[in-house]
Amino acid sequence: MFKRALGIGMAFIGLIVGAGFASGQEMLQFFVAFGTRGIVGALIASVLMIISGIAALQLGSYLMAKEHTVVFRRVSNPWVAWFLDATTIVTLFSIGFVMFAGGGSNMAQQFDWPVWIGAGLTLLAVLVAGMADVQRVSTIIGAITPFIILFMVGVSAWMLLTSDYDIAALNLATGEVQTSLPNWWVAALNYVGLCAITAVSMTIVIGGSMLDTRAAGLGGLIGGVMYLVLLLLAVVALYLQVDIVGSDELPMLALVNAVHPWLGAAMSVVIFGMIFNTALGMFYALGKRLTRDRPERFRIVYIASVLVGFALSFVGFRDLVSYVYPALGYLGLVLIVVMAVGWMRRRRRIGAEIARRRRLHRLAMRHLDPAREFSPEHATEVRRITRESNLPDAELREAVLAEVDAVLRKDPEVDYPPPDGEDPEESRGKPGA
Report the C-alpha gap between 104 and 412 in whole angstroms: 48
Inter-CA distances, 129 with 161, 200, 400, Å:
39, 20, 28
Cβ-based neighbour number of residue 183 at 10 Å = 11
List, for residues 400-413, the tens digit of each pLDDT value.
988 888 888 887 87
Report the C-alpha gap between 375 and 173 in whole angstroms: 73
Low-confidence ranges of the chain (pLDDT < 50): 427, 429-433
Beta-carbon contacts of residue 275 (< 8 Å; ≥ 6 apart):
18, 19, 22, 99, 102, 103, 106, 122
* CA-based torsion, 228, 22, 315, 177: positive or negative: positive
- Cβ atoms of 368 and 422 within 8 Å: the answer is no
What's the pLDDT at 425? 52
What's the pLDDT at 419? 57
Domains, the chain, ranges and CATH? 2-345 (1.10.4160.10), 350-428 (no CATH)
What's the pLDDT at 44? 94
Inter-CA distances, 335 with 56, 64, 75, 265, 428, Å:
10, 20, 11, 38, 46
Report the C-alpha gap between 278 and 275 in whole angstroms: 5
At 97, the amino acid letter reads: F
Report the C-alpha gap between 83 and 73 in whole angstroms: 11
What's the pLDDT at 39? 94
Report the C-alpha gap between 419 and 427 in whole angstroms: 11
- Cβ atoms of 408 and 400 within 8 Å: the answer is no
At 82, the amino acid letter reads: W
Reported residue count of the chain is 433
Beta-carbon contacts of residue 366 (< 8 Å; ≥ 6 apart):
372, 373, 374, 378
Q: Where are the alpha helices (DSSP H) in 36-166?
A: 36-63, 69-75, 78-111, 115-129, 134-162
* CA-based torsion, 289, 295, 299, 304: positive or negative: negative
At 322, the amino acid letter reads: S
Report the C-alpha gap between 241 and 243 in whole angstroms: 6
DSSP letters for 320-348: HHHHHHHHHHHHHHHHHHHHHHHHHHTHH
- Cβ atoms of 314 and 119 within 8 Å: the answer is yes
- Cβ atoms of 35 and 174 within 8 Å: the answer is yes
Cβ-based neighbour number of residue 205 at 10 Å = 24
